[in-house]
A and B are shown apart, each in its own frame.
Chain A
Amino acid sequence: MGTQTDLAVEAQGLVKIFGTNRAVNGVDLKVPKGAIYGVLGPNGAGKTTTIQMLATLLRPDGGSARVFGHDVVKEPHRVRQLIGVTGQYASVDETLSARENLFIFGRLLGLSRAQSRSRAQELLEEFDLSEAAKRPLKQFSGGMRRRLDLAASLISQPPLIFLDEPTTGLDPRTRAQMWNTIRHLVQTGSTVLLTTQYLDEADQLADRVAVIDRGQVVAEGTVDTLKSSIGSASLRLELADAADLDRALAIISGVLNTTAIERTPRGRLTVPLADAEQVADVLIGLRHAGIAITAMSVEKPTLDAVFLALTGHGANTEEVVLS
């Protein structure tokens, strides 16, 4: 493994332990240069911890990681010159204005006063932040702060940008804007590694995706391969009588030959389908058993479905799962 590499990020067996909790438990990642790479997983899967290790914010307890060939533990200062990090919680100064924030970050990145000032102006315009240019950020919405956060990560146009759940909590319009910005970053030569809880976000943006669960990569590949691995759709059913739940589960798992069925105690079921035709088989099976349903829908795969298929449990741990 020389320093010349086509990989922006190369992680092997990364481990981070908090107390008795192995938050990251042997994560391998290979992020090609110039790509948008998605790390997909539910809350608490270890996405943020992984990013923090790659961005030199946390020291790994095991394994190794390189950013453009530079070891994150041995050469942290080199790595920091190559990355921009935008966290889940906006890491900007809320008592300062947007302009002051950008100016200070520019100065810290080695720009002169004049350069910092003009770069701040450029970014304020580009990210539609002029409104917050002069007033302290705490007076503004989360979306505004998030945009500033991203702008601050782009002051020096780093070749690798980490985005930790860049659109969580944003309204749809701001979300779409953020997606465009991210696409633009890659067109201008950067590599982006983003984490997300949303399959559609990965679908929209990412060239490749790693699915993380309980600190481990459970699947890796293009979004299309991932989706096809879990079937094309999922069937949602609502039973008229929740008491029929166990019988219904037995019938469905018999018809589809799967145990990966999500259910709630009140009689709602989510079933992954290899193809939509199977809906009829399921419904006929239920009719024969005399089980009535009140609602039915067929949906495209969701992150929950991906999780169910890959890990045997839902993305939201509250959900009861048949296994």
Chain B
Amino acid sequence: MNITNSRGLSQSVRHSLTMAHRTLLKIRRTPEQLADVTFQPIVFTLMFTYIFGGAIAGNVSSYLPLIIPGLLVMTVITTSIQTGVQLREDMDTGVFNRFKALPIARIAPLAGALLADTVRYFIATTLTIAMGYLMGYRPHAGFGDVVLAGLLVIASAWAMSWIFAFFGVIARTASSVQGISMIILFPLTFLSNALVPSQTMPHWLQIFVKINPISHLVTAIRDLANTGSVNSNLAISLLGAAIVVLIFAPLTVRAYMRKA
């Protein structure tokens, strides 16, 4: 037997892909795990559009170009909380003991979980856009740019999931992961321009909304889907996502290794 004390990069990638495969198998076995990425997009889209549509934009159809990109960001980013919650639940099961004793890359269970969750973001993204389409939303920029917008949301949610994965690794229970994550995400998503234009807000709140990275992401998606324009908001969103990953990926991995 050829025995080494280190793992190559290709091995780490292969182990991570296998762990992602495992997560997908689990989803297939317990499809109710997908409840949040299926019902939430449908219910939120219907609810918020009809509640706010008349008040904010005069009617539903002129609200759709504003709300659909906003809801897309809100819904998909909120979904990424589940990454942390499920990671915590998973780490508490006996099978994680076996992963720890296997000669695999230490990072693989973490990387696999985050990778597999992009499937969840994809479902949430597709359903939100499809719901918008059914309700009459016709993005002017065309199919290609809408796909790009969708990919941008998925990439951002993946970046955000590192934050929640970090809580997942350090927290003691799954419900506390949910709690901490909501406290952070609630103000970020609601104190943004996702649902309403910020002009009617008090001045101090407008300042927060303006610097809130979620607002930049929402604007980037709107511009991309509605007019096909690529601007500084897109650059800021990508930069923000990269910074989150650069900070939280090493933090999470370190915390995870210490526990693993």
Given contacts A104-B22, A108-B104, A109-B103, contact A77 B5 (CB under 8 A): yes
Q: Nearest A residue to B30 by beta-carbon distance?
A: A95
Tell whether, in the assembled complex, residue B26 and residue A82 are in contact, meaning their CB atoms are under 8 Å apart. Answer: no
Q: Mark A59-101, 1 if CB is under 8 A from B, else 0.
A: 0000000000000000101101111010101111111110010
What is the CA–CA distance of A56 and B1 in the complex, to the nearest angstrom? 20
Interface: B98 (CB within 8 A): yes
Q: How far is the CB of B96 from chain A (nearest CB, A)?
A: 8
Interface: B93 (CB within 8 A): yes
Q: Mark A99-126, 1 if CB is under 8 A from B, else 0.
A: 0100011011110000000000000000
Interface: A55 (CB within 8 A): yes
Q: Mark A182-206, 1 if CB is under 8 A from B, else 0.
A: 0000000000000000000000000
Tell whether, in the assembled complex, residue B29 and residue A83 are in contact, meaning their CB atoms are under 8 Å apart. Answer: no
Chain B residues near A77: list those with CB within 8 A: 4-7, 103
Interface: B231 (CB within 8 A): no
Q: Mark B1-24, 1 if CB is under 8 A from A, else 0.
A: 101111100010011001101100
Interface: B102 (CB within 8 A): yes
Best-surrounded residue of B1, B21, B93, B100 (most CB of chain A within 10 A): B100
Cβ contact of A92, chosen from B5, B21, B95, cutoff 8 A: B95
Tell whether, in the assembled complex, residue A91 and residue B4 are in contact, meaning their CB atoms are under 8 Å apart. Answer: no
Chain A residues near B51: list those with CB within 8 A: none
B interface majority secondary structure: helix
Given contacts A93-B95, A100-B25, contact A108 B18 (CB under 8 A): yes
* CB proximity to A under 8 Å, residues B9-53: 11, 14-15, 18-19, 21-22, 25-26, 29-30
Given contacts A77-B6, A77-B103, A83-B101, contact A96 B29 (CB under 8 A): yes
Best-surrounded residue of B19, B25, B103, B104 (most CB of chain A within 10 A): B103
Interface: A285 (CB within 8 A): no
Tell whether, in the assembled complex, residue B5 and residue A78 are in contact, meaning their CB atoms are under 8 Å apart. Answer: yes
Tell whether, in the assembled complex, residue A90 and residue B94 are in contact, meaning their CB atoms are under 8 Å apart. Answer: yes
Q: How far is the CB of B16 from chain A (nearest CB, A)?
A: 10
Best-surrounded residue of A91, A95, A108 (most CB of chain B within 10 A): A108
Cβ contact of B26, chosen from A91, A96, A152, cutoff 8 A: A96
Interface: B97 (CB within 8 A): yes
Residues of B in contact with A, size category = 20 to 34
What is the CA–CA distance of A3 and B26 in the complex, to the nearest angstrom? 42
Tell whether, in the assembled complex, residue B18 and residue A104 are in contact, meaning their CB atoms are under 8 Å apart. Answer: yes
Interface: A136 (CB within 8 A): yes
Chain B residues near A292: list those with CB within 8 A: none
Chain A residues within 8 Å of chain B by Cβ, number: 30
What is the CA–CA distance of A90 and B96 in the complex, to the nearest angstrom? 11
Chain B residues near A104: list those with CB within 8 A: 18, 21-22, 25
Cβ contact of B3, chosen from A56, A82, A110, cutoff 8 A: A82
Q: Nearest B residue to A55 by beta-carbon distance?
A: B101
What is the CA–CA distance of A91 and B30 in the complex, to the nearest angstrom? 19
Tell whether, in the assembled complex, residue A85 and residue B94 are in contact, meaning their CB atoms are under 8 Å apart. Answer: no
Q: Nearest B residue to A84 by beta-carbon distance?
A: B101
Interface: A57 (CB within 8 A): yes
Tell whether, in the assembled complex, residue A93 and residue B22 are in contact, meaning their CB atoms are under 8 Å apart. Answer: yes
What is the CA–CA distance of A214 and B188 in the complex, to the nearest angstrom? 52
Given contacts A57-B97, A87-B97, A108-B15, contact A81 B26 (CB under 8 A): no
Cβ contact of A87, chosen from B14, B18, B19, B94, cutoff 8 A: B94
Q: Mark B88-115, 1 if CB is under 8 A from A, else 0.
A: 0000011111111111100010000000
Q: How far is the CB of B101 from chain A (nearest CB, A)?
A: 4
Chain B residues near A95: list those with CB within 8 A: 26, 29-30
Q: Nearest B residue to A159 by beta-carbon distance?
A: B1
Chain A residues near B29: list those with CB within 8 A: 95-97, 136
Tell whether, in the assembled complex, residue B102 and residue A105 are in contact, meaning their CB atoms are under 8 Å apart. Answer: yes
Tell whether, in the assembled complex, residue A78 and residue B3 are in contact, meaning their CB atoms are under 8 Å apart. Answer: yes
Chain A residues near B97: list those with CB within 8 A: 57, 85, 87, 91
Q: How far is the CB of A96 from chain B (nearest CB, A)?
A: 6
Q: Interface of A with B (CB < 8 Å)? A: 55-57, 75, 77-78, 80-83, 85, 87, 89-97, 100, 104-105, 107-110, 136, 152
- Chosen A-B contacts, 11 in total, with CB atoms closer than 8 Å, are A77-B5, A77-B103, A82-B3, A83-B101, A85-B101, A87-B98, A89-B94, A96-B22, A107-B14, A110-B11, A152-B98
Nearest 3 CB-CB pairings of A with B: A80-B103, A91-B98, A91-B94
